[in-house]
């Protein structure tokens, strides 16, 4: 009977391909939009991911996400170092500064100032140069994407010449010499990332009474990170989060206070609705066209369970093909746009969610057809 079900399915080529196209479109749209959403939300805490060495981030209690910098007094660093369970604590400056390029244009950059002694918090991957070169006079390290795009030298014909080691910038009217090029995670604002030392960053930055953005803390071996956060909060009155907690805080802010989830949610919902409508209608018409065959099988003694199993087999076949094609096309789209500004990330959990959505579409489509088959009278085969 399973073979009969498959022969019935592929017998009407037009409806067979119509069902597959509907499921492919639904799978493609759901997977693609969800992957873009995941990639975009991952960028919101890319800087936290890159700084993998610290266990705890200490900041002003009013900070809501990674880019919501509320500076602290430098004396807070010493207070954090005095908390029991802290192995080391280093300062981090994070701010937006304007860079003047060689052609006179200005570009806002995300500047990170690292501890002068240890350079903790530096880029995870160096493409050119060395992190230790930051100790040279007026030294900065720029990210590779910013060096090739927004910080690049623009020629008269419009082409861009990437900024290289030895080139100079002006950061807030201060000379900065590029000593290295690094690779970092894309940021949410897609601004060039510039690394320098903490003392130099405070010189580049506009003069303020408070310039310490964050305190990066490493817990002593055997010390529970959550307990250390609570201890720092009690002892200093500051907010302290583990890296995962700070990621969740940043992610939650963008989920709650921006329209990103709603926009992508609507697109994903439309893909589900359209896929259900196309696949459900086509599958129902396919069942109507084969009612005489189902009636003949019922007249020969086939029960409702057998006929329902045949419909489920048909749904599983078209669902698997449609899901595979949709995910494949979404993956091809992500691969084609890997070097663009578009964010695209497809974790394995997303594939399960997409598979569940396609399965639900197939189930809903099958239920419509099942009702028609269950109420079918075998005598229909002898009419007309």
Question: HSE (CB half, 13 Å, CA atoms) of 334?
Answer: 22
76 touches 239 (CB < 8 A): no
When mean pLDDT is compared over 154-163, 170-179, 362-371, the highest value belongs to 170-179
Number of structural domains found in the chain: 2
pLDDT of residue 235: 93
Least confident of 64-73, 196-205, 282-291, 346-355: 282-291
Whether 150 contacts 105, CB under 8 Å: no
Q: Is residue 248 part of a domain?
A: no
Query: What are the Cα distances from residue 362, in Å, to 81, 321, 375?
Result: 59, 12, 20
Q: Determine the average pLDDT of the residues in 34-50.
A: 89
> Is residue 120 over pLDDT 80?
yes
More reliable by pLDDT, 303 or 55 = 55
Q: Is the domain of 22 the same as that of 107?
A: no
Task: Examine residue 282 and state whether it is found in any structural domain, yes or no.
Answer: yes
pLDDT, averaged across the chain: 86
pLDDT at 73 over 90: yes
Residue 222 has pLDDT above 80, yes or no: yes
Q: Identify the residue with better confidence: 380 or 140.
A: 140
Please tell me whether residues 91 and 232 are part of one structural domain: yes
Kindly report which listed range (53-57, 189-193, 253-257, 307-311) carries the lowest average pLDDT score: 307-311
Q: Are 310 and 224 within one domain? A: no
Q: Would you say 57 and 240 are in contact if contact means Cβ atoms under 8 Å apart? A: yes
Domain range for 133 is 73-237
Within a domain: 268: yes
Distances (CA, A) of 312 to 110, 281, 308: 55, 16, 6
pLDDT at 232 over 80: yes
Assign 336 a pLDDT band (cuts: 50, 70, 90).
very high
Cβ proximity of 46 and 193 under 8 Å: no
Report whether pLDDT(280) > 80. Answer: no
SS3 of the chain: helix, strand, coil, percent, to 5: 50, 20, 30
- Residue for token digits 């057998």? 306
198 pLDDT more than 70? yes
pLDDT at 213 over 90: yes
Shared domain for 171 and 77, answered yes or no, is yes
- Residue with tokens 């919902």, as numbered in its chain: 269
Residues 228 and 330 in one domain: no
Same-domain pairing of 118 and 210: yes
Per-residue pLDDT, 90: 96
The percent of residues in the chain predicted with pLDDT above 70, rounded, is 91
CA-to-CA distance for 20 and 361, rounded, in angstroms?
12
**Which residues touch 40 (CB under 8 Å, ≥6 apart)?**
188, 260, 343
Residue 67 placed within a domain: no
Residue 5's pLDDT band (cuts 50, 70, 90): low
Question: Do the domain assignments include residue 94?
Answer: yes
Are 120 and 31 part of one and the same domain? no
**Which of 23-32, 158-167, 372-381 is predicted least confidently?**
372-381
Residue 59 forms part of a structural domain = no
Q: Residue 174 domain-assigned?
A: yes
């Amino acid at each position: 009977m399973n073979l009969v079900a498959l022969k019935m399915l592929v017998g009407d080529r037009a409806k067979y391909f119509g069902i597959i196209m509907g499921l492919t479109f639904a799978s493609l749209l759901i997977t693609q939009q969800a992957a873009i959403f995941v990639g975009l939300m991952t960028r919101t805490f890319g800087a936290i991911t890159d700084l993998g060495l610290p266990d705890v981030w200490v900041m002003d209690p009013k900070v809501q996400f990674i880019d919501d910098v509320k500076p602290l007094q430098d004396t807070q660093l010493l207070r954090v170092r005095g908390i029991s369970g802290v192995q080391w604590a280093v300062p981090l400056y994070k701010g937006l500064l304007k860079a003047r390029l060689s052609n006179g244009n200005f570009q806002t950059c995300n500047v990170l100032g690292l501890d002068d002694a240890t350079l903790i918090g530096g880029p995870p991957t160096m493409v050119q140069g060395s992190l230790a070169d930051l100790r040279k006079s007026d030294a900065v390290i720029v990210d590779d994407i910013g060096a090739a795009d927004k910080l690049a030298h623009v020629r008269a014909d419009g082409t861009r010449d990437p900024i290289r080691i030895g080139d100079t910038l002006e950061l807030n009217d201060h000379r900065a010499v590029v000593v290295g090029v690094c690779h970092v995670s894309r940021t949410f604002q897609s601004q060039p990332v510039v690394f320098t030392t903490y003392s130099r960053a405070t010189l580049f930055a506009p003069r303020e009474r408070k310039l310490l953005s964050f305190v990066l803390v490493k817990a002593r071996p055997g010390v529970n990170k959550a307990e250390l956060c609570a201890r720092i909060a009690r002892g200093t009155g500051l907010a302290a989060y583990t890296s995962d907690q700070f990621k969740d805080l940043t992610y939650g802010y963008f989920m709650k206070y921006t329209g990103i989830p709603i926009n992508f949610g609507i697109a994903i919902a439309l893909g589900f609705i359209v896929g259900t409508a196309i696949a459900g209608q086509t599958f129902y018409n396919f069942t109507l066209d084969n009612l005489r065959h189902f009636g003949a099988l019922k007249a020969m003694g086939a029960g409702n369970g057998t006929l329902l199993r045949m419909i489920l087999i048909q749904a599983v076949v078209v669902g698997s093909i449609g899901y595979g094609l949709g995910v494949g096309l979404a993956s091809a789209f992500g691969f084609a746009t890997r070097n663009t500004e578009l964010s695209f990330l497809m974790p394995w959990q997303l594939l399960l969610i997409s598979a569940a959505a396609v399965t639900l579409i197939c189930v809903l489509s099958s239920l419509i057809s099942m009702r028609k088959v269950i109420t079918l009278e075998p005598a229909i085969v002898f009419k007309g």
